Structure 1
Amino acid sequence: MITEKNETTISLQKQYDVSYLVQQERKNIFFPIIFFINIVLSFWYVLKVRPKYIISTGAGAVIPFCIFGKILGSKLIFIESFAKVQTPTITGRVLYRFADKFYVQWEELLSVYEKAEFKGRLY
């Protein structure tokens, strides 16, 4: 499992094999540096793990990981955020082009993502 390191995800390492990306916020003055670190970490993790499938619900930190995975042959399944009802996330807009399967949790977003599927809400 690859995820951002934060208070919510720290406890996952007790149950799962977890590798962490640095949590990034676009408004943080150090965002460019943190994003670069995440690009390097993502490249390393993809080479190390060689995932057959990548399933993501986003946050921008995963964009490089997903793209590197696609380049190396991973299938990408993206689930757009439950919090976005009518407008897409930045991560969704970027990864829509790369995703093998793209799911939205609100029917309203089908007008934004023509190839997306709505199967109901996941959480």
Structure 2
Amino acid sequence: MSRLCSVLDNNGINSYNLVHLGSFISDFKFDHQYPLMDIRHKTSLFLSILYSIPILLYNILLFFYLIIRFDVKCVLSTGPGLCIMPSVLFKFFCKSTVVFFESSCMFYSKSVTGHIMSYVANYIIVQNEELLQVYDNSLFLGRL
């Protein structure tokens, strides 16, 4: 994400409010950063289920707060499954453009997130040329 932000910063996006959802990134100066909680627990299925309801509620409340505070035109997603819910909500409630960046570790197949985001995203950016055959209407921009 830091490399993507540095590329965007060099292309004159200073007139926009940059809001980051997810883990804190110190390499780039965002206008606002909000933590987005992960629903899954790393070691326990039971705890994943137990934590999912309050975390899902927090993420939905954060989404509505962002809708009220900002006029969201575009969502850039580089992420794992955590990016699916905000991308879907912003696309259908705000009519935002959703851009999904597929991981550079995928070469010959879609990731689980990629399967879902291929239905949600307006644009899919791949980092390996082999994925151009896997995703319809994808763009190859090289490594980010």
TM bucket normalised to smaller:
0.7 to 0.9
68-77 or 36-45, which moves further after superposition? 36-45
Query: CA shift at 1:38, angstroms?
Result: 5.7
SS at match of 1:88: coil
Within-5 A mapping of 1:15-54? 15-16=29-30, 17-25=32-40, 28-29=44-45, 30-32=47-49, 33-34=51-52, 36-37=56-57, 39-41=59-61, 43-48=63-68, 49-54=70-75
Letter in 2 for 1:21: L
Higher relative contact order (CA 8 A, sep 6+): 1
Alpha-carbon distance in 1 for matches of 2:108, 2:58: 29
Letter in 1 for 2:21: T
Unmatched segments (≥5 aa) in structure 2:
1-18
Aligned to 1:63: 84
**2:36–2:59: 8 Å Cα contact kept in structure 1?**
no
Q: Could you state the TM-score of these two structures normalised by the residue count of structure 2? A: 0.68
Alpha-carbon distance in 2 for matches of 1:82, 1:38: 30
Q: Could you state the TM-score of these two structures normalised by the residue count of structure 1? A: 0.77
Unmatched segments (≥5 aa) in structure 1:
none
- State the aligned residue count: 118
SS at match of 2:99: strand
Whose radius of gyration is greater, 1 or 2? Answer: 2
Letter in 1 for 2:104: F
1:46–1:31 Cα change, 3 Å: farther
Q: What's the Cα RMSD here?
A: 2.5
Aligned to 1:88: 110
Among the aligned pairs, what percent are the same residue?
A: 28
Alpha-carbon distance in 1 for matches of 2:56, 2:26: 25
Alpha-carbon distance in 1 for matches of 2:81, 2:29: 25
Aligned to 2:20: 2
43-52 or 15-24, which moves further after superposition? 43-52
